[in-house]
């Protein structure tokens, strides 16, 4: 049900618009200009002349097209000198169809309602018949501009700065203690190599003959094994205590326990007797 409502709303939001094709037969040029010209044109007001095109054609030769920027554009930012004269390399569009389209939205005046999608109009301004690429002449102005561009690009993003007084924001931050300990732990573990599983089990059983409970740090020191590998073996033969009085300690499972006091009880045939080891 919700999907049907969503589809209906989406269909209502879509409005078919007619495309005005009255200028579809008009041929237009697609011109690619350098970035420095585009930046100047973006800063220029809409009521000035930005440049002049000159087309010269001789019999039997390809037409020569040139662009000369106006003084108004050159003087928008006098500190940034750019070339004035450019040539346009022309290429004919033959194997593809390209067009220029315009989207017209009427401005809403004071007190009038917002423009509806039906009031918007689409126009085809023309079909692209030629591509032109604007290129500067290699004169002194262009070479000077490129040299300045290379100089700015070669400047490092970070530079050394001499400080005359203590500035807290530039003081290096010392590494935190827990980060140093973590690095040392990982470094120590990286030097450890995994021994044979049976050899590790022998070390564990020998250790548990001396004490009944161990924490993981002590077992790592005894076996000299990576902690992840050691835990895999411990889970097979040991139980991890979650409650007091031996919380967070490892203990052999019942089937692997074999303490001296148990042997003494079996030999004496006594139950409930306390030996020296029981006092531990």
In this predicted structure, what is the pLDDT of residue 214? Answer: 93
pLDDT tens column, 161-192: 887 887 776 566 567 777 888 788 767 665 66
- Which segments of the chain belong to CATH 1.10.10.10? 190-256
Do residues 104 and 124 lie in contact, with contact meaning Cβ atoms separated by under 8 Å? no
In this predicted structure, what is the pLDDT of residue 188? Answer: 66
In this predicted structure, what is the pLDDT of residue 275? Answer: 37
pLDDT tens column, 253-276: 988 887 655 444 444 444 433 334
In this predicted structure, what is the pLDDT of residue 234? Answer: 92
In this predicted structure, what is the pLDDT of residue 115? Answer: 55
In this predicted structure, what is the pLDDT of residue 219? Answer: 92
Q: Classify residue 126 as left (phi > 0), alpha (psi -120 to 50) or beta.
A: left
In this predicted structure, what is the pLDDT of residue 278? Answer: 38
Question: On the CB side of 165, how many CA atoms lie within 13 Å of its CA?
Answer: 0
In this predicted structure, what is the pLDDT of residue 177? Answer: 76
- Which residue ranges of the chain lie beneath pLDDT 70? 1-16, 107-118, 169-174, 186, 188-192, 259-280
SS (H, E, C) the chain: CHHHHHHHHHHHHCCCCCEECCCCCCEEEEEECCHHHHHHHHHCCCCCCCEEEEEECCCCCCCEEEEEECHHHHCCCCCCCCCCEEEEEEEECCCCCCEEEEEECCCCCCCCCCCCHHHCEEEEEEEEEEEEEEEECCCHHHHHHHHHHHHHHHCCCCCCCCCCCCCHHHCCCCCCHHHHHHHHHHHHHHHCCCCCHHHHHHHHHHHHHHCCCECHHHHHHHHCCCHHHHHHHHHHHEEECCCCCCCCCEEECHHHCCCHHHHHHHHHCCCCCCCCHHHC
In this predicted structure, what is the pLDDT of residue 179? Answer: 81
In this predicted structure, what is the pLDDT of residue 251? Answer: 92
- Which residues on neighbouring strands pair with residue 133, listed in sequence order? 32, 89
Q: How many Å apart are CA 135 and CA 77, to the nearest integer?
A: 21
Fold of 190-256: Arc Repressor Mutant, subunit A (1.10.10)
* Dihedrals phi, psi of 103, to nearest 5 degrees: -120, 115
Nearest alpha carbon to residue 131 among 65, 69, 51, 35 = 65
In this predicted structure, what is the pLDDT of residue 14? Answer: 59
């Amino acid at each position: 049900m919700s999907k049907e409502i969503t589809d209906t709303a989406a269909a209502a939001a879509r409005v078919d618009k007619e495309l005005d094709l009255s200028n579809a037969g008009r041929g237009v040029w697609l011109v690619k200009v350098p970035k420095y010209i585009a930046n100047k044109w973006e800063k220029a007001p809409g009521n000035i002349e930005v440049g002049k095109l000159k087309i010269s054609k001789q019999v039997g030769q390809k037409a020569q097209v040139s662009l000369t920027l106006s003084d108004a554009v050159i003087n928008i930012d006098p500190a940034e000198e750019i070339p004035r004269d450019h040539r346009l390399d022309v290429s004919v569009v033959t194997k593809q169809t390209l067009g220029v389209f315009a989207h017209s939205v009427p401005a809403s005046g004071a007190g009038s309602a917002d423009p509806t999608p039906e009031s918007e109009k689409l126009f085809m301004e023309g079909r692209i018949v030629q591509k032109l690429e604007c290129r500067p002449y290699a004169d002194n102005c262009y070479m000077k501009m490129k040299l300045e561009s290379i100089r700015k690009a070669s400047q490092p993003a970070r530079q050394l700065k001499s400080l005359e007084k203590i500035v807290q924001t530039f003081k290096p931050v010392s590494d935190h203690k827990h980060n140093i300990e973590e690095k040392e732990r990982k470094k120590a573990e990286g030097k450890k190599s995994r021994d044979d599983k049976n050899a590790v089990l022998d070390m564990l059983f020998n250790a548990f003959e001396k004490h009944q409970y161990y924490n993981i740090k002590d077992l790592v020191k005894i076996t000299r094994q990576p902690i992840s590998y050691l835990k895999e073996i411990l889970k097979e033969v040991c139980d991890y205590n979650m409650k007091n009085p031996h919380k967070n300690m490892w203990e052999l499972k019942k089937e692997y326990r074999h303490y001296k006091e148990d042997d003494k009880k079996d030999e004496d045939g006594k139950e409930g007797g306390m030996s020296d080891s029981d006092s531990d």
